[in-house]
Every structure is written in structure tokens, then in C-alpha cells.
Amino acid sequence: MAATSAFDLETALAERRRLHRYRTRLNTDAPAGRETVVDGRRYLNFCANDYLGLANHPDVVQALKQAADDIGVGSGASHLVCGHSRFHHALEEQLADATGRPRALLFSTGFMANLGVVGALLDKPDAVFEDKLNHASLIDAGLASGARFRRYLHNDADSLAAQLARADARRKLVITDGVFSMDGDAAPLAALCDVADAHDAWMMVDDAHGFGVLGEQGVGTPAAQQVAARIPVYMATLGKALGTFGAFVAGSEALIETLIQFARPYIYTTAMPPAVAAATLKSLAIMRTETWRREKLVALIAQFRRGAQAQGYTLMDSATPIQPLLIGDDAAALQLSGRLREQGVLVSAIRPPTVPDGTARLRVTLSAAHAPEDVDALLAALGEAPSSQD
């Protein structure tokens, strides 16, 4: 009986329910881009990260099928044993080329890439400085590294400078999201680089939500802000704008070799299926050449912001496909999400602890797969739910 009470899981679960923070899942068909099906009902989907609409692109699907026919499904081993296929290798070369860096290294997920990089670069004598709103994987990576862990105010270079001025450490690593996943705003990279340079710190950018979306050819937030050369560690994921799965880190020869030697989540895990790498090669080529996808997104973003503002919703300072509507109260956000769902529109309610207390929101994400009429339908559904704006 003692063991049962020590593991009293029900109490914590009940508390989470009481706070309207209980997390649930949908069982979706076609879970991407423009629409999805849940329990047989079709919904317009405004909660996927399929920003360029590539997850269902026929050429990407075909590349995956062809590679699976050619070499099977599983990679069979970690990269360092025999799991590193010619598809993985070609993708790394293309990602290095796209990001203008000597090398790139694939990771099986973005979460693991962040754990791997920070763990390989930092140890007890070091210090890590993170934006308060960085993704959970970066926070966990910083904490797990054993380095001194500091958080600076969101997008605030002065706050970072104050933290760095007080630090006495061997290596100093500043880490920021390129585009913040729950707010949609971009980091002020030039200002952060200035501060990092003044304190002999390195910059790392997690561009999960900027890669594919920002910059010429979609090559990311640092390129869009003309500071790519000032950021030695660039990380991005492949499960969002690229429409597939996995992640990569791009940087110098020495950085990539360091990760191969020391990044435990790289060394001790099975390589992603090679067919996923083959599909990503295709979506990367589309990302770079089909500029119209980014142009369309810009137009959809403007259309949505105009419409939501006219209805009195509170938008956030975002020029990206992540367009949250700030609601505040957890239950109200959940209720609005439920009302939209009744009208055939899926938008997730994001609540604490994912976002700070009192800032629950509807996280609307737009995709180049959406048509302007889809955004009109979303706005019409939002207009049908006026009590949510009280």
C-alpha cells in the first residue's frame, strides 16, 4: 500500500483537470496542411506546423515510396554503426548547402538535437543563457548539461547583457528560438549577437519555426536578418515547414565532428528511416525553389490579421504563420477552441504550463496549403463565438 500512495498519480491528474489544463489527443486522418479528418468528420486544420503544405505533396510522398521500395523501411542501426545511408548523407550535404555552412548533421528529432548539441558543448565549468520563452527541449538541454543555467527576459538583449556581465564561466552559450513557437515572433538576432560578441559567448539558434518560412529560399531566420555568419550553431527541424520528420544542426567542420564524437542523443539512437531522408531531399528542393509558397503565406497572414483585428481579438507581435489569439483564461481558451471545432475548424488551445499563467491562447497556424477562402471560414467561425472576447 505504501508504494501506491507514493505514486498517487490520480491526485496530480485530477488537479490538472480542475485547472482546465488536461491534455488530450485527437485521432486524425491526413493530419497536415489544409484539412484533416477526426472521427470521420472533416475539419479545416489550423493547428499543424506544415507551413509550406509539403507533408502531403505528391512528389515528397513519391520520394518516400521509391526509397522504401529501394532500401526498405528501418535504417537498421545508429548512424555510427551502419544506419547512415546514402540518402542521409545526400540530405546532410544539401542542408549544409542550403544554410551556407561547411557541414550539417541529421538528428532523429529536434528534441534530441537540442539535448545533443548542448550536452556536447557544455559541462560544469560552463554557462548557458536562454530566452525565457525558449522551447522546452532547449530548457531541458540547458538543465541537463550541468552548466550554470540562466534565463533572460524574452527578446531582451539588455537582460542578456546583464546576465552575461555577471557570468564567470569557461564557455558561454546563448540560445534562442529563431521564431518562438507559441508567440510567433522572431528573435532580434543582431542585437543578441552584439551582446554575445562583447562577452565572448557563442550563439545557438533553434529555427524549428523559421526554416522554410523566412529568408530567401526559406533558409531561415538568421539569413532573413543577415546575421547567419555570426551564429556558429544553427539547428532546425524537418517535421514542420519541410513536412517530414527529424532535425539537423549546421555549422563548422569542428562543430559537426564534435557532435559526432560527443552528442549522446546522436550516437546512441537509431538513424531516421532513410526513406524519410529521401522525402526530405525532395521537400528541401521544393522549399528552396517554390518561392510562391512563402509569398502565399505572407498574404494569408495579412488576411488573417486584418480579419481577427477587426473582430476585436488580441493578436501577438507576429509576422509568421504562427498567429496566436491571446485569450488569457485557460477555460475560455478551451471553450473557444471547442466552439470552433463544432463549426468544423481545428485550432488548439495552448495553456500553461506551455505558456505563462494568464496567457492561454488559441494558436492559429497558417499553411501555404490553405486557400484565402479557408481563412475566411476561420474568421467566420471566430465571429460566431463573440462571448470569447468578453
Catalytic residues: 181, 209, 240
- Asked if residue 208 binds ligand PMP (CB under 6 A), the reply is yes
| 209 carries a ligand binding annotation | yes
| 181 carries a ligand binding annotation | yes
Relative to beta strand 360-365, strand 322-328 is: antiparallel
- Asked if residue 181 binds ligand PMP (CB under 6 A), the reply is yes
CB of 79 or CB of 209, closer to ligand PMP? 209
Helices (H), the chain: 2-6, 9-18, 58-71, 86-99, 110-121, 136-144, 157-165, 189-198, 221-224, 253-262, 264-267, 274-289, 291-310, 330-342, 372-383
- Asked if residue 237 binds ligand PMP (CB under 6 A), the reply is yes
Relative to beta strand 103-107, strand 247-251 is: antiparallel
Taking the complex as a whole, the smallest distance from the CB of residue 49 to ligand PMP amounts, in Å, to 7
CA 239 to chain centre: 8
For 247, phi then psi, to 5°, come to -160, 170
- Asked if residue 110 binds ligand PMP (CB under 6 A), the reply is yes
- Asked if residue 85 binds ligand PMP (CB under 6 A), the reply is no
Going by the DSSP 8-state scheme, the letter that residue 272 receives in this structure is P
User: Interaction with ligand PMP in 151-180: which residues (CB under 6 A)?
Assistant: 177
Helices (H), 199-242: 221-224
Closest residue to ligand PMP, Cβ-based? 110
| 135 carries a ligand binding annotation | yes
- Of 284, 233, 242, the residue nearest 116 (C-alpha): 233
- The Cα–Cα gap between 97 and 374 comes to 35
- Asked if residue 111 binds ligand PMP (CB under 6 A), the reply is yes
By CB under 6 A, which span of 4-12, 63-71, 105-113, 348-356 interacts with ligand PMP?
105-113
- Asked if residue 324 binds ligand PMP (CB under 6 A), the reply is no
CB of 136 or CB of 380, closer to ligand PMP? 136
- Asked if residue 251 binds ligand PMP (CB under 6 A), the reply is no
Residue ranges for the known binding site are 23, 110-111, 135, 181, 209, 237, 354
Which residues of the chain form contacts with ligand PMP (CB under 6 A)? 109-111, 135, 137, 177, 181, 206, 208-209, 237, 239, 247
